[in-house]
Amino acid sequence: MITLLNATNRPDNRTSIITKTYQQFLISSEAAFQVLTLEEINPIYMVKQSIGEKQPEFEAIVEQYIGKSDKLMIVMPEYNGSFPGILKLFIDAMPHKALEGKKISLTGVATGRGGNLRGMDHLTGILHYLHAHVMPYKLPISGISALIRDGKIADEIVLRDIQKQIAQFIAY
């Protein structure tokens, strides 16, 4: 099972357009997957869980989307030259071994030129520390504003790159 994670909690975010594109291609590939967006999780649950106050609602989410998946596809925007703090809080609130042995793919989304390369590198270091396996092919998506037309990705090269990453990740 693959969990596709939209790693931001900002409303009306452009990352969700990329996540929906991944969903469409995963459906076409007939891979078993589920989708989690950090918008769906109350940040208070994560804060309390991270300081040791058990939050059954959060624990159920972690069990469903992390525990029952062997692979995780993270689609994350660039925030301040890295990845969103809400993603770090999500990781910190999980049990330490929750990501151990999981296979993970990373996609960075940015309005600028770098496609969140730095954020993907930062997150890779954390995931390696947690003994997760990060697929080497990381996809930086740059200039996101110019790639969207009518709420969809309109760039054929980006669409082809997403399909390539998904195919590689399924085989990973």
Per-residue pLDDT of the chain (172 residues; tens, 9 = 90+): 999 999 999 988 899 999 999 999 999 999 999 999 999 999 999 999 988 899 999 999 999 999 999 999 999 999 999 999 999 999 999 998 999 999 999 999 999 888 999 999 999 999 999 999 999 999 999 999 889 999 899 999 999 999 999 999 999 9
How far apart CA 142 and CA 139 sit, in angstroms, is: 10
- pLDDT for the residue numbered 2: 97
User: Nearest 5°: phi and psi at 71?
Assistant: -135, 150
- pLDDT for the residue numbered 113: 86
Residue in 100, 103, 169 with CA at minimum distance from that of residue 134: 103
DSSP β-bridge partners for residue 107: 75, 139
Structural domains in the chain, sorted by start: 2-171 (3.40.50.360)
How far apart CA 172 and CA 165 sit, in angstroms, is: 10
Pairing between strand 152-153 and 148-149? antiparallel
Model-level pTM? 0.94
How far apart CA 134 and CA 129 sit, in angstroms, is: 11
Instruction: Take residue 98 and report the two structure tokens written for it.
Output: 């929750």
